[in-house]
């Protein structure tokens, strides 16, 4: 009697538990896999802002921080797919192969991979932002605001994303000021405030009066503030860290895309896509312009922003030459996405070599 009671009690508990799980699984659940900590105030931080937008839109989300781009990523993805998540966003380039591998095993789960190009299965989409459009605007501002004609650029790692940014920035700066020089320092880190600060200081000591960065921390704009030179915010609005130095910031705005895609999963309208959005679609946002910029520059920047958004102006419009003087893009043509995605040569006017 006693045993039967326990048995029926346990089985009813299990039954109830299954019911609850089934009820929860009906709502769409999104998972996010991050390369760094959400506290980096840079790349991962902005993805997490996007995740919060999904949450605000009424969906359940989970995230896993600091997932290495190795076999660990596969394990994490498999577990997320197994635990009732309907869509999984993998937010770093190195998750490309693990994402495709796990996607094959879970055809009913949707996978969204940031900054990659492999979509081997119908349930894998890729998305990225055209940050180089933002850098065209920064280049225009830097070329106009510099007095020493030396612009410093703190770079992270020699990958197409970063090279594309340097090129786009330099082309825009040369257009408004043919005399400028872009000095590049490779910090070989995405974020290490101390190292970034030292790199920026070296550039300032060598005469740079505008500093651009492709690393994530706010150390560089703080150094610029102390030294009395100009700088630009990276990934998020960094104005409050250096109110005098920061002229504007290029923000990564993933929220609208994330909400859109999770809603598509909920409505059953999700389909495979390759998204590369820029200023026009609001994935790249230019923060408010600093009042130190002259009025004509401000209006010029606003017009450029509108033209980039509408597609009237392209960041890579020919004629563009590489450092050796070979033609990269012919006059009147623009660089296609294939060329942009694999860009590993400097344009004319950039000093130094790309580290191999």
**Interacting residues with another protein (CB under 8 A):** 36-41, 45, 152, 183-189, 191-199, 201-203, 205-206, 208, 217-219, 222-223, 236, 240-242, 351-353, 355-356
Residues 6+ positions from 197 with CB-CB distance below 8 Å = 219, 220, 222, 223
3-state secondary structure of 307: helix
- If the CB atoms of residues 33 and 203 are measured against another protein, the closer one turns out to be 203
- Cβ distance to another protein smaller for residue 109 or 219: 219
- Whether the CB-CB separation of 192 and 217 falls below 8 Å is answered with yes
Question: Measured from the CB of residue 41, what is the shortest distance to another protein in angstroms?
Answer: 5
Min dist. Cβ of residue 323 to another protein (A): 12
Token output for 132: 């180089």
In whole angstroms, what is the distance from residue 91 CA to residue 33 CA? 6
Contact 291, 308 (CB under 8 A): no
Q: Rounded to the nearest 10 degrees, what angle do helices 255-267 and 43-56 cross at?
A: 40
Work out how close the CB of 150 gets to another protein at its nearest, in angstroms, rounded to a whole number.
Answer: 9
Shortest distance (Å) from residue 143 CB to another protein: 19
Q: Are 228 and 22 in contact (CB under 8 A)?
A: no
Q: Which residues of 106-127 are buried (b: 16+ CB within 10 A; e: fewer)?
A: beebbbbbbbbeebebebbbbb
- Comparing CB distances to another protein, the nearer of 133 and 196 is 196
Shortest gap between Cβ of 202 and another protein (angstroms)?
A: 4
* φ/ψ (deg, to 5) at 106: -125, 75
Nearer to another protein, 43 or 131 (CB): 43
- Distance of closest approach, residue 225 Cβ to another protein, in angstroms: 10
Three-state SS at 320: strand
Minimum CB–partner distance for residue 186 and another protein (Å): 5
Closest to another protein by CB, 100 vs 156, is 156
Q: Which is nearer to another protein, 39 or 178 (CB)?
A: 39
Nearer to another protein, 8 or 206 (CB): 206
The alpha carbon of 72 is separated from its chain's Cα centroid by a whole number of angstroms, namely: 23
Rounded CA gap, 147 and 143, in Å? 9
C-beta of 331: minimal distance to another protein in Å? 29
C-beta of 169 vs 270, nearer to another protein: 169
- For another protein, the closer of residues 103 and 187 by Cβ is 187
The residues, ordered by sequence, that sit 6+ positions from 39 with a Cβ below 8 Å of its Cβ are 45
Beta strands in 98-156 (DSSP E): 110-114, 124-129, 150-155
Closest CA to 238 of 249, 252, 223, 253: 249
In angstroms, what is the minimal distance from the CB of 289 to another protein?
20
How, if at all, do strands 150-155 and 124-129 pair? unpaired
Q: Count H helices, E strands: the chain?
A: 11, 14
């Amino acid at each position: 009697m006693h045993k039967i009671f326990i048995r029926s009690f346990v089985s009813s508990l299990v039954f109830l538990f299954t019911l609850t799980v089934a009820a929860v699984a009906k709502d769409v659940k999104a998972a996010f896999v991050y390369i760094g900590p959400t506290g980096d105030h840079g790349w991962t931080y902005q993805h997490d802002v996007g995740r919060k937008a999904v949450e605000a839109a009424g969906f359940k989300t989970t995230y896993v921080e600091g997932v290495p781009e190795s076999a660990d990523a596969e394990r994490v993805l498999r577990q997320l797919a197994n635990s009732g998540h309907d869509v999984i966003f993998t937010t770093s380039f190195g998750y490309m192969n693990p994402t495709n591998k796990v996607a094959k095993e879970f055809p009913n789960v949707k996978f969204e991979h940031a900054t990659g190009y492999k979509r081997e299965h119908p349930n894998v989409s890729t998305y990225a932002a055209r940050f180089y459009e933002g850098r065209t605007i920064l280049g225009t501002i830097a070329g106009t605001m510099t007095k020493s004609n030396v612009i410093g650029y703190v770079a992270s790692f020699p990958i197409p994303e970063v090279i594309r940014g340097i090129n786009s920035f330099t082309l825009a700066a040369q257009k408004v000021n043919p005399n400028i020089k872009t000095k590049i320092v490779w910090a070989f880190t995405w974020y290490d405030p101390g190292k970034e600060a030292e790199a920026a200081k070296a550039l300032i000591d060598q005469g740079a009066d505008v500093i651009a960065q492709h690393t994530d921390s706010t150390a560089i704009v703080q150094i610029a503030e102390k030294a009395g030179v100009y700088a630009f915010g990276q990934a998020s609005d960094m104005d409050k860290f250096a109110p005098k130095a920061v002229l504007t910031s290029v923000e990564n705005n993933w929220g609208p895309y994330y909400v859109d895609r999770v809603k598509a999963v909920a409505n059953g309208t999700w389909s495979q896509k390759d998204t590369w959005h820029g200023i026009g679609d609001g994935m790249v946002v230019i923060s408010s312009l600093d009042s130190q910029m002259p009025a004509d520059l401000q209006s010029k920047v606003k017009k450029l922003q509108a033209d980039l958004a509408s597609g009237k102006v392209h960041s890579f419009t020919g004629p563009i030459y590489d450092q050796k003087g070979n033609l990269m893009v012919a006059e009147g043509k623009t660089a296609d996405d294939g060329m942009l995605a694999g860009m590993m040569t400097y344009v004319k006017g950039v000093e130094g070599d790309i580290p191999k």
